[in-house]
Amino acid sequence: MNERFWHNKRVLVTGHEGFLGSNLVRALITLKCKVTGIDKVSNRGLSVLNGIRGGFSGIKLNLSDLPGVRRAVARCRPQIIFHLAAEAIVGRAKKDPLNVFKSNVQGTWNLLESCRGNRNIAAVLVASSDKAYGTALNLPYHEDTPLKGRQTYDASKSCEDIIAQSYFYSYGVPACVVRCGNIYGPGDFNFSRLIPDAIRSALKNRQFVIRSDGTYTRDYVYVDDVISAYLMIAEKMRSDNLYGEPFNVSDEKPQSVKGVLKAIEKVLAERTKKPLIKNRAHDEIRDQYLSSKKIRKMIGWKAEHSFEEGLKKTIEWYKEVL
């Protein structure tokens, strides 16, 4: 990471109150950036940003408001944009498709439209997901795997991904796409996700409920490693001509649900309650994991934290918070 590159850079982060966004803002403040955040929520009660909110400017704004987004971009004059704002919970997306399409699809085109023709902007990094690929016969997913999201959330990420690339190829907006697996680490207060819920259950000596049969596999990548990938891509967007490129970000060591629970038990060094396996998962892709060969080859990124190391840091943080 090139600290000199970031000094005094004007950076815009959408979704700065979310899990990844709040951790990224912390990192950018440490790098002495001039950070502006956009989020439909302001001053979230539980956040890793508590205590450092004076170090950046937050704008309460829904990205579905195009005039508002245009004003915000004009006001903060960003050089780098990290577009992380999204409806990120699959269950909520299933229940409210209009909201997820407004957040993930309309919000993305509104932001990119607000960047069109703006010569101050050197890089726009759009957060996609492994879900954008949908179900594939051959794993791991590579960046040239077709985007075939079928369920509501998956389809929204496929659309967001394609729109981001279209704005580069059609209008020269300096955008690229980052596709991550499941991100975990300090600051994730959404306990509908596997790792936060499993850690909370273990710390409170509760029985954890597995919706599936426990063998479904996913990527799990530590939040600091994801942030380093975003920063490295942004640094090299112009010098290495990365515009329009998609990048997978993964530690390339997929875990099953049962494997995650065993790993948590190992880190805690104590027995946890046997999970309840309901085996009632519906509309879920059984196996999803990514190849990070491209980002490793093109910019030299790789995950620095093993799964056990990431879990140790995450569990220690939850112990303090819970």
**pLDDT confidence of residue 280:** 83
Judged against a pLDDT cut of 90, whether residue 42 lies above it is answered with no
Q: Is the preceding peptide bond at 140 cis, omega within 30 degrees of 0?
A: yes
Residue 277 lies in a domain: no
Residue 259 lies in a domain: no
Residue 256 lies in a domain: no
Q: What is the pTM of this model?
A: 0.95
Residue 165 maps to which CATH number? 3.40.50.720
Tokens describing residue 310: 């990431």
Which residue segment(s) compose the domain that 147 sits in? 3-184+221-251+289-304
Residue 176 lies in a domain: yes
Residue 134 lies in a domain: yes
For the chain, what is the mean pLDDT?
A: 94
Judged against a pLDDT cut of 90, whether residue 311 lies above it is answered with yes
What is the distance of C-alpha 172 from the center of its chain? 24
Catalytic residue among 133, 141, 153, 220: 153
Residue 180 lies in a domain: yes
Domain count, the chain: 1
Q: pLDDT band for position 22 (50/70/90)? A: very high
Closest-CA residue to 3 (of 186, 228, 185, 225): 228
**pLDDT confidence of residue 191:** 92
Residues 73-104 have pLDDT tens digits of 999 999 999 999 998 777 777 788 888 999 99
**pLDDT confidence of residue 97:** 87
Report the pLDDT averaged over residues 268-277. 88
Separation of alpha carbons 129 and 249, rounded Å: 9
Instruction: Please list, in sequence order, all residues whose beta carbon lies within 8 angstroms of the beta carbon of residue 93, skipping any fewer than 6 positions away.
Output: 87, 99, 100, 151, 152, 153, 156
**pLDDT confidence of residue 98:** 86
Asked if residue 85 lies in contact with residue 63, where contact means CB atoms within 8 angstroms, the answer is yes
Report the pLDDT averaged over residues 189-195. 93
* Active site annotation includes 153: yes
Q: pLDDT band for position 186 (50/70/90)? A: very high
Q: Specify the range with the lowest mean pLDDT, choosing from 103-107, 168-172, 260-264, 273-277.
A: 273-277
Tokens describing residue 153: 């959330």
Report the pLDDT averaged over residues 119-136. 96
Q: Determine the angle formed by the axes of helices 107-115 and 66-76, rounding to 10 degrees.
A: 40
Judged against a pLDDT cut of 90, whether residue 46 lies above it is answered with no
